[in-house]
């Protein structure tokens, strides 16, 4: 249950190993984090440099599976030219990062910042500084979701979508989920609800103790400019990450993500939806990425801001990347939860979930060795716009500010 990348990858892997599987999505597929995220298909470099090596490995393996699934798609689901550029603050940090990437087996090259597209546009650093270039990619998250659904259909999976869950109950070894459009039953249910898991358990299964997760929010600024082609990761503390929006075969702009744990007091003091929030977020981003200020002033692109939620292990609010590793939990008889942590790690998280179900005797088939290389797809080519992003005009947003908000 759950129509994001976790549920979809789990369903696909289960079907490919011969386990009859039905996927249930409440609301549209991919309507949550799986399409609101930055669309960064991770090489694992970001996590290796924080010494979260297990997460780095999960991303590396997961990314290879995603690439395999996306092979041959038209338009290309993965931007062919986008690379990662990690910008160290100084030579000492550069050396430390190189050691960690080597330790994680993540390929990289070292280039002058001036030779790397976009890095110098965003970072105010000396263009003679070196930058680490990695195999990180931008992926079209909407088309990825569609491709997963197409594969699930092709593998014989049953797909159910509903508007709401009315009730969920367990009787005589069978879970029954009452929906607004009927009921579905199964001996085993995996809840792959992303950040929606705690609320779902509270509302529908209050007696089930869920995993010790807390919901955390990240702010994402979306800017509609077409000139950025690099994932730029300044390594100064608190820096946002910049990822090109790759959609329907084109770069549509960039997303800039401010993780929940960075400079909390500067970014989170305003409640969600407050008109000054976008302004604050823009100020934060331009302070951290000084080159961006020039870009925004000279080109005046459209921009907007949204919030996206994820789960964090309780007690890990310091932002350790290892707390974002995938997790499979047994909640009660026949009921499991799966959390991927990263879109890039979702295939690996799904494999871990199936391995748990196998060791519990729930499924008896062997795991399939690898994803199929079949590239015969009838891929949808048109999606009007990335729905997760509501673009607002900055000048319009300004007009909406009250005087007190402006002073603030
Ligand atoms: C701001 C941000 C940026 C990120 N950027 C990246 C990135 O660039 N690269 C990367 O690899 N990862 C990234 N991630 C992480 C990634 O987006 C998530 O790990 C991944 O999308 C989680 O997928 P999911 O299927 O578990 O959850 P979701 O995509 O959130 O899907 C959950 C599904 O559960 C269902 N659901 C939720 N609540 C309920 C409920 N109460 N009742 C019924 N159904 C419900 C919905 O159908 C929904 O489709 C980012 C996360 C955030 C927050």
Is residue 205 one of the residues assigned to a domain?
A: yes
Residue to mutate (ligand 1; options 12, 33, 261; most atoms within 8 A of CB) = 33
Task: Compute the CA torsion angle 17, 5, 3, 374 (nearest 10 deg).
Answer: -50
Residue to mutate (ligand 1; options 3, 4, 11; most atoms within 8 A of CB) = 4
> Following DSSP, what letter does each residue of 237-252 receive, concatenated?
TT--EEEEEEETTEEE
Write the residue with the smallest CA distance to atom 27 of ligand 1.
Answer: 194
Question: For residue 52, which of 334, 323, 387, 393 has the smallest C-alpha distance?
Answer: 323
Q: What range defines the domain where residue 139 resides? A: 5-214+314-377+384-391
Cα 350 to averaged position of ligand 1 atoms, centre (Å):
14
Is residue 115 one of the residues assigned to a domain?
A: yes
Cα 328 to averaged position of ligand 1 atoms, centre (Å):
15
CATH of residue 148's domain is 3.50.50.60
**Beta-strand (E) ranges in 241-294?**
241-247, 250-258
In the block, tokens 């995938």 appear at 326
Write the residue with the smallest CA distance to atom 4 of ligand 1.
Answer: 37
Cα 238 to averaged position of ligand 1 atoms, centre (Å):
23
* Torsion over CA: 38, 44, 49, 50 (sign): positive
In the block, tokens 């009730």 appear at 167
CA 261/CA 243 separation, integer angstroms? 19
Is residue 406 one of the residues assigned to a domain?
A: no
Instruction: Give the pLDDT of residue 213.
Output: 81
CA 89/CA 104 separation, integer angstroms? 21
265 preceded by a cis bond (ω within 30 of 0): no
Instruction: Give the pLDDT of residue 287.
Output: 82
Is residue 298 one of the residues assigned to a domain?
A: no
φ/ψ (deg, to 5) at 233:
-125, 90
Residue to mutate (ligand 1; options 1, 2, 336; most atoms within 8 A of CB) = 2
Q: 127: number of CA atoms within 13 Å, CB side?
A: 9
- Please give the number of the atom of ligand 1 that sits closest to the Cα of 25: 47
Instruction: Give the pLDDT of residue 244.
Output: 94
Cα 340 to averaged position of ligand 1 atoms, centre (Å):
8
- Please give the number of the atom of ligand 1 that sits closest to the Cα of 341: 19
Is residue 78 one of the residues assigned to a domain?
A: yes
Write the residue with the smallest CA distance to atom 19 of ligand 1.
Answer: 342
pLDDT in tens, the chain (408 residues): 999 999 999 999 999 999 999 999 998 898 889 999 999 999 999 999 988 899 999 999 999 999 999 999 999 999 999 999 999 988 899 999 999 999 999 999 999 888 887 776 666 556 668 899 999 999 999 999 999 999 999 999 999 999 999 999 999 999 999 999 899 999 999 999 999 999 999 999 999 988 888 887 788 889 887 678 899 998 887 788 999 999 999 999 999 988 765 444 455 555 566 667 777 788 888 888 888 887 787 777 888 888 888 887 766 655 566 677 899 999 999 999 999 999 999 999 999 999 999 999 988 776 665 544 333 333 332 223 333 333 333 344 334 333 333 333
Instruction: Give the pLDDT of residue 320.
Output: 63
Which residues, in sequence order, are bridge partners of residue 87? 234
H or E element: which one contains 48?
helix 45-48
Count the Cβ atoms, other than its own, within 10 Å of residue 96: 13
In the block, tokens 């000054």 appear at 276
| Domains held by the chain: number | 1
Instruction: Give the pLDDT of residue 121.
Output: 67
CA 113/CA 102 separation, integer angstroms? 21
Instruction: Give the pLDDT of residue 383.
Output: 27
CA 366/CA 348 separation, integer angstroms? 16
Is residue 209 one of the residues assigned to a domain?
A: yes
Count the Cβ atoms, other than its own, within 10 Å of residue 304: 19
CA 111/CA 115 separation, integer angstroms? 7
Distance of CA 295 to the CA centre of its chain: 26
Cα 35 to averaged position of ligand 1 atoms, centre (Å):
8
- For 21, 303, 394, the CA distances from 252, given in Å and listed in that order, are 36, 12, 18
Write the residue with the smallest CA distance to atom 50 of ligand 1.
Answer: 37
Is residue 164 one of the residues assigned to a domain?
A: yes
Cα 336 to averaged position of ligand 1 atoms, centre (Å):
17
Cα 293 to averaged position of ligand 1 atoms, centre (Å):
30
Is residue 250 one of the residues assigned to a domain?
A: no
CA 32/CA 307 separation, integer angstroms? 11
Beta strand 327-332 pairing with 137-138: unpaired
Question: For residue 247, which of 145, 148, 117, 138 has the smallest C-alpha distance?
Answer: 138
Write the residue with the smallest CA distance to atom 2 of ligand 1.
Answer: 37
Structure token digits, residue 374: 């079949």
Cα 202 to averaged position of ligand 1 atoms, centre (Å):
19
Residues near 162 by beta carbon (within 8 Å), at least 6 away in sequence: 24, 25, 26, 179, 180, 181
Cα 123 to averaged position of ligand 1 atoms, centre (Å):
29
CA 189/CA 83 separation, integer angstroms? 38
Cα 244 to averaged position of ligand 1 atoms, centre (Å):
19
Residue to mutate (ligand 1; options 196, 217, 241; most atoms within 8 A of CB) = 196
Instruction: Give the pLDDT of residue 310.
Output: 83
Instruction: Give the pLDDT of residue 321.
Output: 63
Residues whose beta carbon lies within 6 Å of some atom of ligand 1: 2-7, 25-27, 31-34, 37-40, 42, 165, 192-196, 199-200, 218, 220, 257, 308-310, 339-344
Residue 364, judged by CB atoms within 10 A of its CB (0-12, 13-18, 19+), counts as exposed
Cα 103 to averaged position of ligand 1 atoms, centre (Å):
29
């Amino acid at each position: 249950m759950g129509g994001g990348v976790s549920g979809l990858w789990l369903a696909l892997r289960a079907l490919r190993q011969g386990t009859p599987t039905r996927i249930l999505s409440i609301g549209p597929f991919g309507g949550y984090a799986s399409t609101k995220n930055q669309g960064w298909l991770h090489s694992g470099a970001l996590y290796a440099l924080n010494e979260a090596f297990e997460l780095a490995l999960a991303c590396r393996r997961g990314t290879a599976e995603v690439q395999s699934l996306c092979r041959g798609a038209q338009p290309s689901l993965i931007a062919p030219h986008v690379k990662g550029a990690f910008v160290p603050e100084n030579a000492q940090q550069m050396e430390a990062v190189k050691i960690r990437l080597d330790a994680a087996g993540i390929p990289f090259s070292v280039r002058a910042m001036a030779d790397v597209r976009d890095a110098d546009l965003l970072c105010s650093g000396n263009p003679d500084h070196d930058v680490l270039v990695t195999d990180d990619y931008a992926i079209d998250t909407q088309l990825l979701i569609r491709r997963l659904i197409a594969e699930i259909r092709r593998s014989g999976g049953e797909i159910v979508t509903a508007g709401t869950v009315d009730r969920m109950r367990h009787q005589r070894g069978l879970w029954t989920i009452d929906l607004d459009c009927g009921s579905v039953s199964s001996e085993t249910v995996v809840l792959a609800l992303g950040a929606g898991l705690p609320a779902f358990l509270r509302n529908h299964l209050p007696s089930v103790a869920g995993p010790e997760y807390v919901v955390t929010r990240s702010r994402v600024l979306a800017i509609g400019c077409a000139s950025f082609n690099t994932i730029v990761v300044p390594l100064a503390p608190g820096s946002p990450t910049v990822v090109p929006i790759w959609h329907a075969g084109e770069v549509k702009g960039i997303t800039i993500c401010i993780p929940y744990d960075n400079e909390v007091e500067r970014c989170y003091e305003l409640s969600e939806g407050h008109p000054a929030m976008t302004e604050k977020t823009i100020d934060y981003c331009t302070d951290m990425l000084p080159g961006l200020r020039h870009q925004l002033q000279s080109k005046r692109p459209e921009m907007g801001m949204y919030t996206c939620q994820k789960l964090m292990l309780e007690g890990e609010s310091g932002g350790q990347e290892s707390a974002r590793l995938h997790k499979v939990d047994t909640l009660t008889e026949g009921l499991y939860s799966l959390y991927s942590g990263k879109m890039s790690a979702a295939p690996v998280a799904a494999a871990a979930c199936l391995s748990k179900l196998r060791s519990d005797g729930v499924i008896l088939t062997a795991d399939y060795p690898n994803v199929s290389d079949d590239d015969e797809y009838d891929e949808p080519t048109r999606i009007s716009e990335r729905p997760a992003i509501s673009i607002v005009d900055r000048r319009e947003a300004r007009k909406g500010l009250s005087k007190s908000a402006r002073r603030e």
